[in-house]
Chain A
Amino acid sequence: MKKINFYLLEYALDSLTRQKRRNIFLFSVLSFIIFLLSSVFFVRNSLLYQFDDAIGVMPDIVVQQLEGGRVVSVEEDLADELLAIAGVQDVVGRVWGYYHFFQANTDFAIVGVDEFEQNSNPNFVKDASKLQDDTMFIGNGVKKVLQKFYYEKEFHFLLPDATNMRLKIAGQLSKDSALWSDDVMLLTKESAKKVLAIDDNKVVDFALFVANKKEIPTIVAKIRTLFPTAKITTKENLFVEYDKLLSYRGGFFLLLFVVTLFTFFMIVYDKVSGVTSQEKSEVGILKAIGWRVNDILQYKFYEAFILSFFAYALGVIGAMFYVYSFDASIIFDIFVGSSQIKPQIALPFVFDAQTFFLIFFMSVPIYIAATIIPTWRVATLDVDELLR
């Protein structure tokens, strides 16, 4: 096996320090681009992971009634007809909607739950027994907004009939579910119906749970026969929609990065292909004193590898800190910015080797090639020509 030539490696390291300014510039730009690219990948991976996690407690089918393309409330009794469909394990009439808090010009998501639902997802609310008709739980984002307006212990809803309804704040929703609960006010169904002006015997939609997931398409077909105007959404549809959204936003970002990367490599290529007279002369001197083209390319390889690999490492490690320790502010807002209240969540660490390899192959080998190819073109010239 061929021995590693550590003298060449040392020479390459020296060479990097000899052209300090140029190399610091290239190192900084490359690290920054890798940092941005990695951050986008990490945020996307974490959100998909959270979604995967959350989808476990979501209903298998959601049935809504549309009128003029808008979701309208439906009679609660229809739950019995849905429950009668073979294969449906449970049906829950849901109450939810939005409350516009005009003082902050923002919307809170109102979710009404009954006792059964509180118990079905104990992670959502720590002490579910505290949820009464005169209390509510709020998400972290809601809490921050309310605190700005001195609503520390209670909140006054302005109802559609212009009267007030006062609810005590019993606690905060779990931070683990912040992606979903940050802008949520969790009320009892009765209170929620009052805030949202929904009649007592009505609900917004129905959540259906199915024991055998293979039966979902059959059940959907049966619901469609029973309620031809209903909008039916399955868990699978939801996942596809969410993935599309993330891919769209991620894709949009990736497109920007591809343009940025392309521009960067054009600059790098242009910089290196127009090998400076100093570099050209160095190649000439090295050849004149007995270096082969292979030796010169090996030295340039080490030089490019050291610079690009450390830029890669710095970019990726920086992105990990930025995403997992500092919650990727700005980039995260772009991904989940549809709500006016930005969720304050700790993104879970997801190790995806493919992502690391992808970023590596998009940066290090390209930079090395952009360095080696022009050097090779110069190194194959006659020494005479290089030194003249």
Chain B
Amino acid sequence: MIELKNITKEYVPNQKALDNVSLQIKEGELVVLKGASGSGKSTMLSLIAALGKPTTGEVVVDNKVISKLPDNFAALYRRENIGFIFQKFHLIENLSVYENIATPLIPSNLPPKEFSFLVQNAMDRFEIAHKKNVIVKQLSGGEQQRVAIARANVNNPKIILADEPTANLDAKLSANFIEILRELKKEKKTIVIATHDPLFFGLDFVDREVEVKNGVIV
């Protein structure tokens, strides 16, 4: 379970990106955080992923206060628990599809068979195996997103976080992403999506929609 307890986040002193926000997300739940750009949705995702630390308050995941983890432990927490799909995908643009998807596995130093199996599995599952050796900057936006999703899932994480996942996609590709989400939801993964795309509103498999405005939950 994910719990945000009285979170305040200031990137610049006295300018609150989040203001005393509290939120609980149950295991296996799919939550959509909706709101305009700059409302604080992405900040909530980054705090859940321990990419940054709150100014005040605590983020608790599975009864562990992850907001106070030292840098190296926070990285381990992400490696073992989090799959993050970024708005701009944040792929390493000169690496191939295979290499990008494999990157999260590198520090684990897995046996070669297991390593290749996990990468191949992620590529097959998100239908990008046919572009295995293509450098990602040569891919279309939709293909890049598939690589980003495959990379986020290659470790089989419990929590999937997606920040504006359809911001760079056309309607057809956005619809494809919705289908992928549906699949992930069936696997009982905890999913949190930050978006202002109406496509995500009112979906039958979404458990909850949470509106964020000016750094507070409305």
Q: Tell me the A residues contacting B by CB distance below 8 Å.
A: 3, 5, 7-8, 11, 14, 18, 281-282, 284-295, 380, 382-385, 387
Contact = CB atoms under 8 A, between A and B. Distances in A.
A289 B78 contact: yes
Given A290-B75, A384-B52, A285 B90 contact: yes
B51 A288 contact: yes
A289 B71 CA distance: 13
Interface stretch (B91-99, B126-134, B168-176, B183-191): B91-99
Among the interface residues A5, A290, A291, A382, which one has the most CB atoms of the partner chain B within 10 A? Answer: A290
B115 interface: yes
B46 to A, nearest CB: 5
Nearest to B53: A382
29 contacts: A7-B115, A14-B99, A282-B92, A284-B90, A285-B91, A288-B86, A289-B84, A289-B151, A290-B75, A290-B76, A290-B78, A290-B82, A290-B155, A291-B79, A291-B106, A291-B107, A292-B71, A292-B72, A292-B107, A293-B71, A293-B72, A293-B75, A295-B75, A295-B107, A382-B51, A382-B52, A382-B53, A384-B46, A387-B90
Interface in B112-153: 115, 151
Contacts, number: 81
B155 A383 contact: no
B105 A7 contact: yes
Among the interface residues A7, A14, A385, which one has the most CB atoms of the partner chain B within 10 A? Answer: A7
Contact of B90 (A5, A18, A281): A281
A23 to B, nearest CB: 13
Contact of B51 (A5, A14, A387): A387
B109 interface: yes
A292 B76 CA distance: 7
B106 A288 contact: no
Contacts of B107: 5, 8, 290-292, 295
B86 A387 contact: yes
B103 interface: yes
Contacts of B155: 290
Contacts of A3: 109
Contacts of B30: none
Contact of B95 (A18, A290, A385): A18
A41 B177 CA distance: 64
A15 to B, nearest CB: 9
A292 B108 CA distance: 11
A384 B51 contact: yes
Contacts of A284: 90
Given A289-B103, A290-B76, 12 more contacts: A7-B106, A287-B51, A287-B75, A288-B78, A288-B90, A289-B104, A291-B75, A291-B107, A292-B75, A382-B52, A384-B51, A387-B51
Contacts of A288: 49, 51, 78, 84, 86, 90
A7 to B, nearest CB: 4
A3 B108 CA distance: 11
A90 B99 CA distance: 80
Interface in B1-43: 11
Among the interface residues A5, A288, A295, A387, which one has the most CB atoms of the partner chain B within 10 A? Answer: A288
B80 A18 contact: no
Contact of B104 (A290, A292, A294, A384): A290
Contacts of B82: 290
A281 B91 CA distance: 10
A382 B74 CA distance: 11
B75 to A, nearest CB: 4
Given A281-B90, A285-B92, A11 B106 contact: yes
